[in-house]
Structure 1
Amino acid sequence: MFELLLACGKTLFLIMRIHQNRKPMKERILVTGASGFIGSHLVDEALERGMQVWAGVRGRSSRRYLSDSRLNFAELDLTDSDSLEAQLALHKRKHGGWDYIIHCAGVTKCLDKADFEIGNFWATRNLIETLQRLDMVPKCFVMLSSLSVFGPVREDDRTPIEPSDTPCPDTAYGLSKLHTEEYLRSLPEFPYVILRPTGVYGPRERDYLLMAQAVKRHVDFGAGFRRQDLTFVYVKDLVQAVFLALEKGVVRREWFVTDGKVYDSRAFAELIRKELGNPWMIHLTCPLVILRAISWVCELVSKFTRKPVTLNGDKYKIMRQRNWKCNIRPLEEELGYQPQYPLERGVKETMDWYKKEGWL
């Protein structure tokens, strides 16, 4: 009897030890578009938080910033619903679903404007419908949209764009993002969050690099002579907003994301100039009518070369827009968002990274 009690005691002790040593299951997260500028920073933050992270990539995507040994990969073809269903079904059999999905995949440059609808709206719809069919809907699905959804709003009085304003995008990119937002809102009880960042900059980003390279060559290029009110958000502040939404457990909400400040059209270039040692610089302002003609020519050349160009019809409309102010008070009040990177700090960190990597 004593030996039986002793054996039971040992067994109970071992069970307790195993229970004490067992680590709680980490929350699982998928970041689509993980190989891109914003996506790779979201992956970094998720890993830093100790989450089980899957980087959603295409088979040919670069994995330059996805080298952490803790990272898992999910190759997803978002524009082919049959392939996507097979890929997600296989993942479910092996690993189950995800607690969270941050949908960062999308297109910002296309040869054909119809490709914006395919790469942004239809890719998102394919993903969500497949998740629903396979019973893989996460607790929260964060979709990164864009301030471009609203287009040239409040251009006369220059007051901040409000969430209640009627979107009127004048770009194919903005329209594709608007269609995606409308689709999410049409889904009953789907646990979405929509974040609409303004111009996002930071390490690994290449569009603002072009401005830095121009300043290094002593040129700052402006579009139009009317005052332009600009907003920006450093990539780490955008990442902060995404994870605050996950932490708070909110769903079916939408917010703008900026650093909370408004800047004139020369502010970014002047801060770059400061970080480059204050080289002499010429400010050139191109009339909008000439800029429109140049963008038309660039777009025409792009169709012949079959290569996307930075300056095109959509880009011209973005540069033409005068009011990029928007109201982020709801984000601050509801999520506790506190931007840490005003433009001066963010530009300094970005320029330091460009120089360290030999980009500048």
Structure 2
Amino acid sequence: MTTRILITGAGGFIGGFIVEEALSRGYETWAGVRKTTSRAHLTDPAIRFIDFNYANPQVLVEQLRQHKEEYGKWDYIIHNLGVTKCKNPDDFDRINYGFVKHFTEALIAADMVPRQFILMSSLGAWGVGDEKNFTPIRPTDTPHPNTRYGMSKLKAEQHLQSLPGFPYVVMRPTGVYGPYERDYYLMMKSIKYGFDFIVGFKPQLITFIYVKDLVQAIFKAIDRGVTRRGYFLSEGRAYTSSQFRRYVATALGRRWVIPVKIPIAGLWLVSVIAEKGAALLGKTSTLNRDKFRIMKQRNWICDTTDARNELGFEPQYSLERGVNECVKWYRQHHWL
């Protein structure tokens, strides 16, 4: 019997890798993308495409009913749709929370609830951790997000928890990197030219997860059939910015890189200017007030015990290995 899966936000960085894994498993794979979204990484002819109207609940219910009548239900839905930067700050709440609310309620109304609804959330939904002793952020800690992005993700999680019996699974990865990702790419590009910009003067411990490890965690959750659970995901080791710089420089064959430390106050000013300037031009800025709070945070260590014990999640990529693979891809595609 054919296993059907839907991946929303499939045109994005993480979405493309999820689609690739679903296809490799022989699933009937549906990619939820807008008509205006690039399909550069969704070229397999086996992919089936669908475009939902998340903003209109009534239309969304009708779309789902029509799909059910023609193709049947999806066994699994991975909701990877979301925004990390917006022209209008209210869009964080409208898209990251509001679309999840509309979509899940429409699935219930159309009798299209899957075996599992996997939500891509973020470690940012838990907010700032212990920046004195650097104890790991734990699922049992009280969430207190300090960014619009994190708040919107937490609201989406809380909505899922409020739905009686709804088979959700929440993935909360730390910083995700990999081929064709753009934020860490900008850092690598800066290192290529001999400079590494570091925020603040206090110690900072950062964590990562390679995109292929994140995808494996998602499908391990499917294999284990867990529901109504949430998981922090990272490689399991913390790094300093100098270690990240060293791995990138070595992969690039760069002997000397100058670390440039930026005071917190200076970064705040630059972030505000960049955000307001982009807004005047009708664009989004990678550097903004939300991003500032993320970069300011000193402790990104999280407890991945639940993912290891319940999913059998064992990351295969160290930061060094992942960086080497990334740099190779960026060079092959003439990004670096």
Class of the TM-score when normalised by the shorter of the 2 chains:
over 0.9
Distance in 1 (CA, whole Å) between partners of 2:90 and 2:252 is 40
Question: Counterparts of 1:171-182 in structure 2 under 5 Å?
Answer: 171-182=147-158
| Alpha-carbon contact 1:228-1:323 (below 8 Å) kept | yes
1:340 aligns with 2:319: no
Distance in 2 (CA, whole Å) between partners of 1:62 and 1:80 is 23
Q: Deviations over 1:225-271 (max 9, x none)?
A: 00001000000000010000000011001110001111012222221
Distance in 1 (CA, whole Å) between partners of 2:157 and 2:57 is 20
| Alpha-carbon contact 1:75-1:87 (below 8 Å) kept | no
What's the secondary structure of 1:330's corresponding residue? Answer: helix
2:148 corresponds to which letter in structure 1? A
| 85-94 or 198-207: bigger deviation | 85-94
1:77 aligns with 2:53: yes
Runs of 4+ with deviation above 4 angstroms: none
Distance in 2 (CA, whole Å) between partners of 1:93 and 1:355 is 46
2:218 to 230, 242, 245: 242
Question: How far is 1:85 from its partner?
Answer: 2.2
| Alpha-carbon contact 1:216-1:279 (below 8 Å) kept | no
What percentage of aligned pairs have identical amino acids? 48
Question: How far is 1:87 from its partner?
Answer: 2.2
2:246 to 270, 277, 288: 270
Tell me what 2:41 maps to.
65
| 153-162 or 190-199: bigger deviation | 153-162
Question: Counterparts of 1:19-58 in structure 2 under 5 Å?
Answer: 25-58=1-34
1:328 aligns with 2:282: no
**What's the Cα RMSD here?**
0.9
Question: How far is 1:300 from its partner?
Answer: 1.4
1:195 aligns with 2:171: yes
Distance in 2 (CA, whole Å) between partners of 1:32 and 1:249 is 20
| Alpha-carbon contact 2:125-2:145 (below 8 Å) kept | yes
Distance in 1 (CA, whole Å) between partners of 2:89 and 2:259 is 32
| Alpha-carbon contact 1:222-1:285 (below 8 Å) kept | yes
1:316 to 292, 297, 313: 292
- How many residues are matched? 336
* TM-score normalised by structure 1 residue count: 0.92
| Alpha-carbon contact 2:192-2:254 (below 8 Å) kept | no
Tell me what 1:16 maps to.
none
| Alpha-carbon contact 1:58-1:77 (below 8 Å) kept | no
Q: Deviations over 1:35-60 (max 9, x none)?
A: 10001100000000111100011121
Tell me what 1:11 maps to.
none
